[in-house]
Chains A and B, each alone.
Chain A
Amino acid sequence: MENEQFGPPAAEQIYTLNLGPQHPSTHGVLRILLDLDGEFIVKADPIIGYGHRGHEKMGENRLYRQFLPNTSRMDYLSGMLYNHGFVLAVEKLAGIDVPERARYIRVIASELNRISSHLLWFGTYLLDLGGFTPFLYAFDDREQILDILDRVSGSRLTYAYCRFGGVTRDVDAGFVDMTRAFLKRMEGRWADYENLVTKNIIFIKRTKDIGVIDRELARQYGVTGPNLRACGVRFDVRKAEPYEIYDRFDFEVPVCFNGDALDRYKVRFLEMLQSCRIIDQALDHLPQGPFQTEKIPLKIKPPKGEVYFPFESARGLTAYYLVSDGGTNPYRCHIRVPSFGNLNVINDVLPDTLIADAISILGSMDVIIPEIDR
């Protein structure tokens, strides 16, 4: 990195910067050891585990039902999706039937949660880049979703709404109206966001061609979700291995091809529109009927065996790997988390970028640290 104008530096020196674990842009408790050559990063070594809470061990010594609330605390931004995945995994393992109405309600709740997760990412990412206004806008919209979910599940963030064999509470007409009103409101908002952010030249300059991940690198590290779709791979678990009733809806999987921070932004943005489409269709077809299967025992005892249940959380391919020994607790409860690969890849992305861009890249990856640490 020799500078022609000023000649070589007096002394070549690599120095180490400790970013985190308390740093406003690390979104949780991530620590990165950066070796710097001037403004450029030579080597990045993320140190994780500052949010390790022992979820997997808890999975082993709790009943299936007792572990359910834990799932939404792993990735607290998309807690409903994690909930949903876990009940599906256990239902598959134990062979529990779910009424149609409950399936639709779950999908609506999950997709609402996906939008709220992306909105929060949208706000905080722009906050990292120095724009405070979108943060307030995004949180305002997000509150609308939280109101809806709060109404049915009783919680704003960490839900335990999906239960084995159904959901805890039925939705009423008010829920449907609120959701429709939200969709209507967002129609106008997308255009606002587009004008305010997507076309903003400062934003584009800070994200275009920054932190490029190509397909091969993404595959090497097991990157999934919007980060993968931003490098041109049309892979979404909702399409590839349709779980629940996702095969009944008409939606697209948006992809972009450059793999830079701007594309990751675009993919998430388009994904929110698709989620709105799914919700709209699900509301149209919401059937009447029971919302719960009767007589699910308190202590579920699935037969011996195992299940690996993949689903698409807001951050990518997530999977529960449950091994049952026929008892009331899982013998092993492993969770494949998407942020793991998505963070791991910055080992190779950060070198040779400017430290100011590192913040932008990190923000654009949308990692949730307690999910990695579990």
Chain B
Amino acid sequence: MKADEMEKALREEFPGALFAVDESGRNGVRYSVLIALSGMRKAAQILNAAGFFLETITALDFSDTFELVYHFNCYEPKSRIALRALCGKDQTPSSLVDTFRGAGWLEREVHDFFGISFSGNPDMRSLLLPEDADYHPLLKSFGKSGDSHKREDIYGK
């Protein structure tokens, strides 16, 4: 299984990473890996070399930090890997567009919705919102939305 090999490779590369393993894939994700934001490019390169594809990028807005979630998958049963990284409110993560060509649009979408800009993405125009939009609708501070929580309220320490 590629996913298991990847788990090993990622464990070697990122000794400090937090792994959540879900063999049955109950939540749809087999390995969920919390790494440092700076390691994301490296991790993506490892997954790219092994033949994974990028399913989606999204972010979660907590009151203390953003969290970026990247879902990777390969064409094998139950081998989804989620890479997660905390991203401070004023941090700029680096783009994956040179590793996965499809990442460009996904990052533009995250930029639209959360205002996180990605360094190294050559094209940071807005994707879904009008060109002149100056708001980021999925922020908890925008419009009507539920309460904003700290990350640990949902995921624990």
Contact = CB atoms under 8 A, between A and B. Distances in A.
Contacts of B26: 92
Interface residues of B, number: 44
Given A48-B127, A57-B138, A319-B56, A306 B144 contact: no
Given A92-B26, A319-B55, A321-B56, A331 B144 contact: no
A209 B58 CA distance: 35
Nearest to A348: B101
Contact of A220 (B71, B101, B154): B101
A241 B154 contact: no
Interface stretch (A9-17, A145-153, A259-267, A334-342): A334-342
Interface stretch (B6-14, B37-45, B72-80): B72-80
Nearest to B60: A332
A118 B29 CA distance: 29
A240 B77 contact: yes
Interface of B: 25-29, 51, 53-56, 58, 60-61, 69, 71, 73, 75-78, 80, 82, 100-102, 104-106, 113, 126-130, 137-138, 143-147, 149, 153-154
Given A60-B138, A220-B102, A340-B105, 20 more contacts: A48-B128, A54-B137, A57-B145, A60-B145, A60-B146, A221-B101, A240-B75, A241-B25, A241-B77, A308-B27, A308-B71, A310-B28, A310-B80, A321-B69, A326-B154, A327-B147, A331-B149, A332-B58, A332-B61, A334-B56
16 contacts: A49-B128, A52-B128, A57-B138, A57-B143, A234-B75, A241-B28, A306-B27, A308-B28, A308-B82, A321-B71, A324-B154, A325-B146, A332-B58, A340-B105, A344-B102, A374-B128
Which 5 A-B residue pairings sit nearest by Cβ, starting from the closest?
A: A308-B28, A221-B102, A49-B128, A336-B56, A235-B75
